[in-house]
Structure formats: C-alpha cells, structure tokens
Amino acid sequence: MFHEISDVLTNVALPKTQATITLRVIKSFEYRTERSLVLHMLNLEITTVGELKDMARQAIQTGSGWKPYRNVHLDTLKLYTKAHGAKTTNLIINMDHDDWIFDDDACTLAELGIENETEISFFNHAAYNAFKENPEIRWDIPQ
C-alpha cells in the first residue's frame, strides 16, 4: 500500500477551531518535573487564556495520574514552542523571551498567534522567578 505524504504543515493542517495544544504542566523547575496535557479540538478563536488555565486546572483535579500536581499553584502560561519552530535547550521551559508569557487572561489564543500543535508551559510564576535567579538543576545531584 502506498500512501502519499502531504506537504501541508501540521500547524495549518487543522483550522483554528479544531486545534490540538500541548500544555507542559510544570511541578518543579529544579527537578525537571513536568507532565504533558494534550487538549484536542480546541477553538483558538474563542478560547481565552483564562479559560485555557481553567480547563487545565479542571483536568488536573479530575484526571487520573495528576495527583502529584494537584497541590501546585499553577497561574502562568508561556509559549514553549510552535510546530516547526526552534526549541530551547532547556528541557522544561523556554527561559528566554519573558514577553512570551500570556499575562492577559481575556486575550484569545488566536490573538496571541497560537496555532495547531503549539506547546505551552503552565507553571507557578513565583517558582519560575526563583529558578531564573538560581537555575540549579537538582535531579542529577548524587545523594
């Protein structure tokens, strides 16, 4: 069987009303503890930053396997990477571009340039600032 490979990039393969977004839910920057939450069929034209935060919090509170994340105060979204874009060398979050933080909860995802297959980090802003001041990784320190 021969199937033709499409030349359509994944970020434009679906309309903005049916996007798939991956949220990188970060529990600890120092220990690189994160888990991905994939949201399907998201309408980027009407979904706001605040609504995306609420959807993620609801999934974390009710989903199996999320118990270790339920006590984390998640309050900030930041662009990690777009499909076919360059990725950062940091495995947990993009430490550059603080202007990529979504600080307006009323703004729609489409207005922020979010596309299908975009990855967004969801984390505690105070923990992020502390990690930026002292970016020490602890998961590989011998005991």
Mean pLDDT, to the nearest integer, of 7-28? 78
| Mean pLDDT, residues 17-26 | 94
The candidate with the shortest Cα–Cα distance to 79, out of 107, 40, 41, 57, is: 107
pLDDT at 93: 78
pLDDT digits (tens, 9 = 90+) for 41-60: 999 999 999 999 999 999 99
Helices (H), the chain: 10-13, 49-62, 125-133
Query: Residue 70 — very low, low, confident or very high, per pLDDT cuts 50/70/90?
Result: very high
Instruction: Look at residue 32 and tell me whether its pLDDT is greater than 70.
Output: yes
Question: What's the average model confidence in pLDDT over 115-142?
Answer: 87
pLDDT for res 88: 60
Look over the chain and give the mean of its residue pLDDT values, rounded to a whole number: 86
Report the C-alpha gap between 127 and 129 in whole angstroms.
Answer: 5
pLDDT of 10 over the 70 cut:
no
